[in-house]
Amino acid sequence: MRILICEDSALLREGLVRVLEDAGHTVVAALPDATRLDEVASESSPELCILDVRLPPSWTDEGIRAALALRATQPQLPLLVLSQYVEERYASDLIAAKGGALGYLLKDRVADVADFLEAIERIGAGATVLDPEVVAQLLSRRTRDERMLRLTDRERAVLSLIAEGKSNQAIAKSLFISEGSVEKHVTSLFQKLDLEQDESGNRRVLAALAHLEHGGAQAPQQTFPGGTTPQTGANR
């Protein structure tokens, strides 16, 4: 895969280059800031762009603004945003922006090279991969609304895992229930949330999170592993 990196930390930037190239990917450019990001992205035709949330000169939201700009000029370019800690507003902005595959991971996840490379592959293939910490905060940040109150505790647990990008098979494994039960819960909760069925697993995740951003209930506190790719055959 052809990958463009935009990361101000020289240590992390070079580390990403090494890890990705050792895994067989091609790093088309590794930029220290977003000054030439759009230009380089247009010239090098990357298949994935990795950006830090905070970039020079102010180290506030340059990375997110650069990501949103890329969404406008190259809407189908998969993006992976790395953050030191959860930036709810920035995650929300990216989720709301229409476009291709999306990843939002905390930088700590990069330390687990195998999982990080797996996330890279999934995003490049069109999946949504969101850090569990991001999902947990998005699920709990809003006060309860009428539609979320319709959900059972089990349906909220399933929704939390859907928002992480998990397939029905992975949800079944996490909750120790059958895939058939998961499908019933997914069908029920999407009906209760007034979300239409969709053939794209990626849209399923984004639709759930978009709804939650407009008022979601707090999900039961659980500890989940990293998000995985939704499987189209299991979508509701």
| Residue linked to tokens 């006060």 | 143
127 close to 230: Cβ distance less than 8 angstroms:
yes
What pLDDT, on the 0 to 100 scale, is given for residue 224? 32
Distance CA 203, CA 21 (A): 30
Tokens matching residue 195: 């979300």
Mean pLDDT of 16-36: 96
Residue 174 has pLDDT above 80, yes or no: yes
Residue 229 has pLDDT above 60, yes or no: no
The string of pLDDT tens digits covering residues 82-91 is 998 887 777 7
51 close to 80: Cβ distance less than 8 angstroms:
yes
The string of pLDDT tens digits covering residues 123-160 is 998 888 888 887 777 666 554 556 677 888 898 888 87
Distance CA 130, CA 225 (A): 11
Q: Band of the pLDDT at 226, cuts 50, 70, 90?
A: very low
Beta bridge pairs of residue 31:
6
Cis amide leading into 75 (omega within 30):
no
Distance CA 49, CA 47 (A): 7
